[in-house]
Structure 1
Amino acid sequence: MRGAEPPELPETSELLGLWRLVSYHDEDAEGAVSEGPLGPQPHGLLYYADGYLSVNMGRGTPVPGAVPYMGYAGTWRREGDRLVHVIEVCSNPAWSGTEQTRTFALDGDLLTLRGTAVVAGRAQQRVLTWKRA
Structure 2
Amino acid sequence: MTAATSAGAASSAEPPHADLTPGDLVGTWRLESYLTVGPDGATAEGPLGPAPAGLLLYGADHRMSVSMMRTDDAEPGAEPRAGTRFMGYAGGWRLAGRQVVHTVAVSSHSYLLGTRQVRDCVLDDEVLTLTGSARTADGVRRGVLTWRRADGEPR
TM-score (norm 2): 0.78
Determine if the alignment matches structure 1 residue 13 to structure 2 residue 23. yes
- Structure having the higher helix fraction is 2
Determine if the alignment matches structure 1 residue 106 to structure 2 residue 123. yes
Alignment of 1:19-58 (within 5 A): 19-50=29-60, 51-58=62-69
Q: In the aligned structure 2, how far is the partner of 1:23 from the partner of 1:64?
A: 19
- Aligned residue identity for 2:130: L
The answer for the alignment partner of 1:130 in structure 2 is 147
- Structure having the higher strand fraction is 1
Q: 1:7 to 1:101 in 2, by over 3 A?
A: closer
The answer for the alignment partner of 1:68 in structure 2 is 85
TM-score (norm 1): 0.90
Aligned pair count? 129
**3-state DSSP of counterpart to 1:103:** strand
| Unpaired stretches in structure 1, ≥5 consecutive residues | none
**3-state DSSP of counterpart to 1:9:** coil
CA-based RMSD: 1.8
| Unpaired stretches in structure 2, ≥5 consecutive residues | 1-14, 74-79, 151-155
Larger radius of gyration: 2
